[in-house]
A and B are shown apart, each in its own frame.
Chain A
């Protein structure tokens, strides 16, 4: 059987890859994809702990994370389309009208 901390380490690595992607990516859709990687890492942690403690609440909470991810992806992509219509580019560095 597989010890619990292997799953936790894998989840931490994936979460940090998501955070790194959030720093590095300049495309807005790339940022949204990095957020999805982070949410998936959290899902893995929930399910690993649910399996360790024998309670089902961890898996139920993954449902809610999934719903939130779906809602956020839908609204985020609608925003991306609206931004693209006005600006013709998806580079976040070009969305700097509010800069000093």
Chain B
């Protein structure tokens, strides 16, 4: 039963990722990425990380992707033009290279940890994550707030009408 659910979410994730690459119009790519994020949340729930699954939807699919969709709609682009495409042959080199890299990674990963997952000692509850975040990882937590401040200033400066 759980394998069926895993395959459902995995197929949805891979299908959405392929759709992101294949679509000509960038808005459809962004919407496929939202489907990918929701299927990632499903996989997180299977891995008993339910708080992270919901945070993924709220932050990533609900805020960051809204930003993407907003910018795409604001710029109001047509579908991709096929203009200066002198490096088209790189596309035909890139796909075999990626497949080769995939084969190498899979050959390494195929037998790693093929025993089933251990019974988890610490669940992905908000309490456990909060405890770890505010005691062991307090410094990175404060540094990320600084990072967001810098990103905020950078975004405001770049999006001004006159730099």
Contacts and interface: CB of A to CB of B under 8 A. Distances in A.
A and B, one complex? yes
A14 to B, nearest CB: 6
A77 B52 CA distance: 25
A93 to B, nearest CB: 4
Which of under 10, 10 to 19, 20 to 34, or 35 or more describes the interface residues of B?
A: 35 or more
B3 A77 contact: no
B80 A93 contact: no
Contact of B83 (A7, A12, A93): A93
Contacts of A80: 71, 75
A14 B14 contact: yes
B40 A43 contact: yes
Interface residues of A, number: 71
B8 interface: no
B144 A67 contact: yes
Nearest to B30: A33
Given A37-B36, A90-B77, A4 B129 contact: no
Nearest to B60: A66
Contact of A90 (B29, B75, B155): B75
A34 B19 CA distance: 11
B83 A91 contact: yes
B33 A36 contact: yes
A80 B158 CA distance: 9
Contacts of A29: 26, 29-30, 68, 71-72
Contacts of A91: 80-81, 83-84
A20 to B, nearest CB: 4
7 contacts: A3-B114, A4-B116, A29-B30, A43-B56, A47-B49, A89-B81, A94-B83
Interface of B: 2-3, 6, 10, 13-14, 17-18, 20-21, 26, 29-30, 33, 36-37, 40, 43-44, 46-49, 51-52, 55-56, 59-60, 63-64, 67-68, 71-72, 74-75, 77, 80-81, 83-87, 90-91, 94-95, 98, 101-102, 105-106, 109-122, 124, 128-129, 132-133, 136-137, 140, 144, 147-148, 150-152, 154-159, 163
Given A5-B112, A40-B40, A44-B40, 6 more contacts: A4-B117, A17-B20, A21-B20, A47-B43, A66-B60, A90-B77
